[in-house]
Amino acid sequence: MGRHSCCAKQKLKKGLWSPEEDEKLYNYITRYGVGCWSSVPKLAGLERCGKSCRLRWINYLRPDLKRGTFSHEEENLIITLHEALGNRWAQIAAQLPGRTDNEIKNFWNSCLKKRLMKQGIDPNTHKPIEQIQVKDEQDCTNSDSLPILQPKGHPNFPISTQMDQESYHHSMQSSSSVCKQVYDPLFLSEFQESVDPNGYLSTFLSHFQQNLVSDNQINPSSGFNSMPNLTSFDYSDTSVSRMSTSLINEEKDISNCGTFSWDGENKLDSVFQLYFNGIQAEETKHNLFQEGDKLQLNEQSSGDYSNYQL
């Protein structure tokens, strides 16, 4: 059997994060930054494994997360990048500031994939489905042809489902190369040529990111504005994780306000609110707690989260 998970081995807590746990993790990371994830749970007072903490921070707590619905520009960019990169969600996410690979992956699987299929486009190849079917038929009729429909270098292209089993079997036997999906490393390098040294698709993305900036969904000057999901969470809800989804759409409005405002309708636990306000004031006032190399000081007061390791 596979190895035990670190959580199971250490009898650590699993499942959804409670607001208290979020609070502890957020407090710790914003104060000290990330050194070694494996030591974070202990230092932050959490009964979680470091891996779980890292994931929670990256996918949910990180202050520079954009959240909210994907814009048309983002959707188009994801589709374009997926066509070029396949299911390399981390690389795709790297081109979308404020988005996580998990978020993009979920969005792709739940929305974009289906949308493309509705449009008659194969989500794996990004080619019209009819075209693929025609090619399948051609491949089936041509016994000498290879049963590989994978486009150049694309790792996710499926072997034709309509392929004649016998010819497939024959071709599998006749050539060992047929057994493998051909992966062309040049494909990526060709793609990379269009990527500038910073890892961005220079022309397309510069335009795209201008739009992002104009959207101003990430508000670097507003300190904790990127944490509204936490602070506006209805704690009476038993579905803790829903705090992110139920309030995602409110985030944009909140961040546009410049500073986080609190109204009586939000059900923020008052202690937690004070807690965040306290940290904000404290961190804005002083950049304390520099304690050697490992203690990276949070700089959210200036909106620079580049020090947060991922």
Partner DNA sequence: AAATTGACCAACCGCAACTCG
Partner DNA sequence: TCGAGTTGCGGTTGGTCAATT
CB of 201 to DNA, least distance (A): 16
- CA 55 to chain CA centroid, nearest Å: 10
Within 8 A by CB and 6+ apart from 298, the residues are 29, 30, 31, 32, 33, 283, 307, 308
Give the three-state DSSP class for 130.
Answer: helix
Rounded Cα distance between 232 and 228, Å, is: 6
CB of 103 or CB of 139, closer to DNA: 103
CB of 211 or CB of 241, closer to DNA: 241
CB of 14 or CB of 286, closer to DNA: 14
Q: For residue 118, what are its two tokens?
A: 């509705």
CB of 25 or CB of 171, closer to DNA: 25
Q: For residue 174, what are its two tokens?
A: 């006749």
Q: For residue 33, what are its two tokens?
A: 């930054």
CB of 17 to DNA, least distance (A): 4
Instruction: Check: CB of residue 90 under 8 Å from CB of residue 59.
Output: no
User: Residues in the site for DNA, rule: CB under 7 A?
Assistant: 1-5, 7-8, 13-17, 35-39, 50-52, 54-56, 59-60, 87-91, 101-103, 105-107, 109-111, 114, 156, 237-242, 244-245, 248, 309-310
CB of 275 to DNA, least distance (A): 19
Give the three-state DSSP class for 151.
Answer: coil
CB of 53 to DNA, least distance (A): 9
Helix pair angle (72-85, 185-193), 10° resolution: 140
CB of 35 or CB of 140, closer to DNA: 35
Q: For residue 47, what are its two tokens?
A: 């009964």
CB of 55 to DNA, least distance (A): 6
